[in-house]
Structure 1
Amino acid sequence: MTATTPGLTDLRPLAALINRTLQTTPARLGCIEGTADLTAALTTAVATYMGHNLQSAPRVLGEIIAEHTRQDATWGADDHPDTDPRDTTHTTHARYAHHANIWWRVNKERANRTTDCCSGYPEEPHTHTAWDGVLLEEVYGALAESDPAQRRACLIQVATKAAAWIEAIDRRTAPQSAPES
């Protein structure tokens, strides 16, 4: 089967990318590290390709997967403790909870400001909630959790908000299409 096989025509760019990656990635044959290097290079290349060729959410997730794969290939798996074990857990969680509460209040105040003029988008109706507050509220909320299951759920929310912010940046910076005549 080749890239010219009917039904595979659309995959030619991906097949070419895989071929280039195989040709340019030094691999030590018969060695586990060589296989891992090649696997990481292929995974990163394919995830990046998918990230650039899929629509918004899957594309952003593809880019995240590619970056995660690159970091794992460079430094290995990150197995850090949730918080510094030298810290006083009660104090640390209380401080994080305090910061989460501050950002919740900032977001609430921003959302209720509907009469102020916004320099970023003065002609569009919107609240004044901003991504900095949205993400920081979620981050501090996750850090304030002591239960691993709750912290994990909060970190999913952090990742979701970070991906949504990336999508918002992409929408704002995307080239404007010309109006159809």
Structure 2
Amino acid sequence: MIIGYARVSTSDQNPELQVDALERAGAEQIFQEKFTGSQRERPELSQCLRMLRKGDVLVVWKLDRLARSLKDLVVLVEELHERGVGFKSLTESIDTTSSGGRLVFHIFGALAEFERDLIRERTTAGLQAARARGRKGGRKPSMSDSDIKKAIAMLSDPRITKKEVAEHFDVSRTTLNSSLKRVGSAS
């Protein structure tokens, strides 16, 4: 069975172009939804994927209609392949039911993995360069050393609670406690 999936990103977009192309490609059933690709949960896609059986073919108008990223697409198509389900993208002329289509798709997958490795290498190099210049990564502390000294002074008064000190500095008690630990004073 050939099953189609069509997705538009916003409610003002119309899926008719996709649906017409899927029907011309022989889709016997078409799942449609209006969701941005960044949404993790897409109920129609989930239902479509559950319905697919061995020997079926999932058809989309364009690759970006199915997945949020190339990595997600590769994972999804690999899962379909393991279940014995084929995949076709009409715009890119990819058809994993043929050996040539599987080759093209695996090349896409290899390129996605290469891109992830390059990003990881650049990130690591950038962090090392920043450390070499004396910069630390991470978020700036909510309380400065000066604020912590003032908080310690305030806490030396037994009538002032940690809750009151935290409110004074507009931080949570947890943040106040970790700041005090950072300077070695857990008063």
TM-score, normalised with respect to structure 2: 0.23
Q: Radius of gyration: which is bigger? A: 2
Higher share in helix: 1
Higher share in strand: 2
